[in-house]
Chain A
C-alpha cells in the first residue's frame, strides 16, 4: 500500500471545522463555485470520467445514474441517503460529524448536475446529534447564500430539507427511503419504474449516498484524472473503511481501495491487530449483508471486484466486523439471522418467511438442539430466498442469504462439531417440546 494522504477526512481534527467560516478558510465551497460556473452536463461528464462508484453498497457509477433522468423533465428531486442502517457501518456518520460542510457542498454539486430543485437528507432516527450538526450546517449555508435562491449568483436554486426515519433497515434501500419520505410505511417499491423516472412523489429522483456526495467537491476541484490515480481503475478514489469488533483500535479510516482486509485489521494506521493477541475467526468485511470471510481469506482486497472471488455479494459498505477465536460461531449465526428476521419488511413471501425460519433454526442450534440436517436446510432456505435474482422486490433477502449461507458453508465443520457435542438428552428434550 502506497502512502496515503486523507482526502475525505482531511479536515479531521481541525478546530471548529463544523463552522462555515473555518470550512471556507480551508478552501471549502470552492468546488461548488467552480461547478456552478460549469454546465450541468460538464459536471456529469467529469464525474463519469472519474468513474465515481456509489459508496452506498452496490457500487453503481454515480455519473451514469444521473444520466438515467429523463431529458425533458420539469422537476427533479435529490435524496441523500444518510440512513446508514447496515450493521457495523458508521462511515457516513463520521464523515458528517467531522466535516458537515463538505457534505453540503457535495449536495450542491450533485443538485446542480442533476438540476434538482429540492434535496432531502434522509437520516436514521438514531442520529440525534448528527441531525443537529447537519441542520446547523444547512442553516449556516442558507444564511451565506450557499443554499436557497440563486446560489452564489449562479441563478441555480436548491432547497435542502432534513427528514428523519423511524428506524427501519429497509429504508436504506432507495425506494424504501422514498416511501418513507412520502410518509408511508417503509417498504421498497416495485421496479420498474426506477426512481430516475418515477421516484419521490412520482417525480424523477436521484438517490445518492453521503460518502458519494462527499467525493464530488474533490473531483470537481482536482479533476477526474487525479481521482482515477487513487486506488485501482475500477475502484478509484478515496474510501472510508470501518473496522469494529475485538481489535485494538476500532474506528473509521480512510484509504485507497487497494487495501486488503488483513491490512485493515492489522495495519498500524488502522485496527492495529486483535485485542489480547487473540486470533481472527471470521470477518464480515462489507457490513453484514455481503457475507463472511474465514481467517485464511483475509488477503481479499477491499475493492468493488475482489469480494466476488471469495463468495461475497460485493464490497458493500466496507465496514469490517471481526469475530475472534473465543466466539461461538452458533451465536454469530443466531445474531446475524435475528437481525434480518427483525428487519424484513414483510412484503415478499420468501424474505418474510425465510428470514424468520432461519432465525428459528439458528436459535435452536445455539440453544444446543441443532441437527446436522438443519445446516443443509439453512443453505437451502438461503438459496431459495435470495440467490436467484428477481425473487423479491429488494435486495434484503440476498443480503440475508449471503452471510448465513457463508457462515454455514465456511464453518460447517465447526457447527457439526458443536452438534456432535451437544448433550443428547437436552437436545432431544428441546426438540420434543417444539414438536
Chain B
C-alpha cells in the first residue's frame, strides 16, 4: 500500500496503480475518456491532467511543477503529492470540453447515449454552455461497421477505447484509426466488419454516443430504464450483468464489473440472448390433465394436486419408482426445494441432474490465447448452474444418476412417477426422452415452451426465465453468485421458487435467502455467497 496526497487529503492506495485510478477508487470524480482499467494507457484525451509536486533540481525542496501530468499515465509512489483542485487543471477541463464540442452535432435529443453520456456529464460539470466557434462544423460520417453496431463518427471523442478493445481483449483487431487531425476517424478495414463474439462491449466502453447497438437503437430513453443486478444465464461462466428494463420489458443487458469472473466484459451470445424472455409462445399457466382433457387450474390448487398425486404413486408403486430431473437452468435454491419435495415424498426416489447443453469448445480471448492467458472465456456449457445442480444432487445422497443414465432407466421402464425440469430457451427434448416419457404413469414437467414432454405430461408447470426469478447460480469454478429479479411474471404467475416452496410445505413468500438458510445446514457452501465487488462510482 502506498500513501499519497490528493488535494490535501491523504489516501491509501494499491502500489503502482495510476494516480487516476487511485483517485477514482477514493471517490474523486476525475473526468477521463481514454483511460479504461481493462485497456492499455494511451493518455490521449488529456482530460485527467493534474499538478504534481517534485523536488526542485537544485534545492531539493518539494514544490508544484509548472507542467501538467496525465494522471492516468503516472503511477502512484509513496509520499506523492498531487492536486486536481487547481486553476490550471480547471482551465484545462474547460478548454478540453470546449474543444470536444466544437464539431459535435449536439443531437442529444435523438442520441441513445443521452442520460448516460460522459460528454453531457462532463460538459455539465466542467464545461461551458456556449461555443465560441462561429465557423461551420466539420462533419465526420456515420457508418455501419458491423452486423450489430453503428458508428456515428460526428459524436466521437477519439478516445480509441474501442480500437484498443479489439486489439487487446478480443485480439481480432477489426477497428483502426484512419486519417489525421480533426478528420481522424475510427473505421473498419474494407470487407472486414466488426463481427466478433464480444463486439458488443465496444458500445459499453464508448464514453459517448458514437458506437451504437443496433438492437437497442432508438428503443428507449435510458433514464426510464431500471437495472437489476443479475448473472448471465447463457453459459457456465457466470458473468455479472445488469438487466435493464422498463415496465417489465427487458431492453438490454450490460456487463457489471467482476474481477473474479468477467472483468468488465460479456459476450454477445449472453448480451443478446434474452429475447426468449418476451416470446409469446411461452407457457404462462399451469396445466392439469385428467384423462384426455386438459384444464388450467388456479395456482392455489397446484400444491395440493401435485402432492396428492405423488403420494398416490408412491403408495401404488413404491418410492423407488419415483424420479426427478433437476435442470441446470434452475437456481440452486429451486433445485434444492425440488430435491426436498421428492425425497420427502419418497426417500428411495432417484435424483438426476438435468440435460447440459454443450456447444463446441470453450472460446478464449484474445483469440488464440490459452486458458491461463485468457482475458475472457465463453464456456461451452450453455447453462448457468450445471455445477450447482450436480452439487445438490450429489449432496442429496441416496439414489442419484446423471442425465443419460436417467433416460436409459426411464426407457427401461424403471420409473412410474417422474418430475422433469427443463427451462431451456431452445428445443431440448430428444426423441428417446419423449418416447421414454410415454412409459411413465405420472409425469410432471416444468418447462418454458411447449414440447413433446409437456404434451405427454399430466401436470405442466411453467418454468420462468431467470430475469423473472431470484436465487443463485454456481458457476463452472464453484462460485455461488446471486441474481435478482428484474421483471414480474406475466398474468401474475407464480415463480418456480414460490410454487416449489409451497409444494415443499413451506409457508409464506419464497426468498432465496430463506431457502439458503435452510440449505446451509446440509450444504456448507451455501452459508456464504460471493458478493460482486463494487466498481468505483466515477469509473466508466
Contact = CB atoms under 8 A, between A and B. Distances in A.
Interface of A: 168, 185, 190, 341-350, 352-357, 360-361, 364, 371, 377, 384-385, 388-393, 431, 434-435
B91 interface: yes
4 closest Cβ pairs, A-B complex: A346-B184, A353-B99, A356-B182, A344-B181
Interface stretch (B132-140, B270-278, B382-390): B132-140
Nearest to A396: B181
Interface stretch (B66-74, B207-215, B351-359): B66-74
16 contacts: A168-B180, A190-B41, A190-B42, A341-B181, A346-B182, A346-B184, A349-B96, A350-B95, A352-B158, A353-B99, A356-B138, A356-B181, A357-B102, A357-B133, A388-B68, A391-B46
Contact of B181 (A342, A384, A435): A342
Given A346-B184, A357-B102, A435-B134, 18 more contacts: A341-B181, A349-B46, A349-B47, A349-B100, A352-B158, A353-B100, A356-B181, A357-B135, A360-B133, A360-B136, A361-B135, A384-B95, A389-B68, A390-B49, A390-B67, A391-B49, A431-B134, A434-B134
B182 A341 contact: yes
A352 B46 CA distance: 11
B177 interface: yes
Contacts of B66: 388-389
- Chain B interface bracket (under 10, 10 to 19, 20 to 34, 35 or more): 35 or more
A345 B73 contact: no
B435 interface: no
A390 B67 CA distance: 5
Interface of B: 41-47, 49, 66-70, 73, 88, 91-92, 95-96, 99-100, 102-103, 132-136, 138, 157-158, 176-177, 179-184
Interface of B is mostly: loop
A388 B181 contact: no
B117 to A, nearest CB: 17
B182 A190 contact: no
Contacts of A384: 91-92, 95
Contacts of A356: 102-103, 138, 181-182
Contacts of A341: 181-182
Contacts of A385: 95
A349 B157 CA distance: 8
A168 B180 CA distance: 9
A342 B179 CA distance: 10
B70 A190 contact: yes
B132 to A, nearest CB: 6
Nearest to B72: A190
A350 B99 contact: yes
A355 B103 CA distance: 13
Contact of A346 (B92, B138, B180): B180
A349 B41 CA distance: 15
B182 A352 contact: yes
A243 B217 CA distance: 58
Determine which residue in A185, A352, A356 has the highest number of CB atoms from chain B within 10 A of its CB, and name it.
A352
A390 B69 contact: yes
B441 to A, nearest CB: 71
B186 to A, nearest CB: 11
A175 B236 CA distance: 45
A389 B65 CA distance: 10
A346 B46 contact: no
Given A390-B69, A431-B134, A345 B181 contact: yes
Contacts of A393: 43-44
Determine which residue in B43, B91, B99 has the highest number of CB atoms from chain A within 10 A of its CB, and name it.
B99
B43 A190 contact: yes
Determine which residue in A185, A347, A388 has the highest number of CB atoms from chain B within 10 A of its CB, and name it.
A347
A185 B133 CA distance: 30
Contacts of A390: 49, 67-70
B151 to A, nearest CB: 16
Contacts of B102: 353, 356-357
Contacts of A347: 42, 44, 158
Contact of A353 (B49, B103, B179): B103
Contact of B182 (A168, A185, A344, A361): A344
A388 B86 CA distance: 14
A352 to B, nearest CB: 5
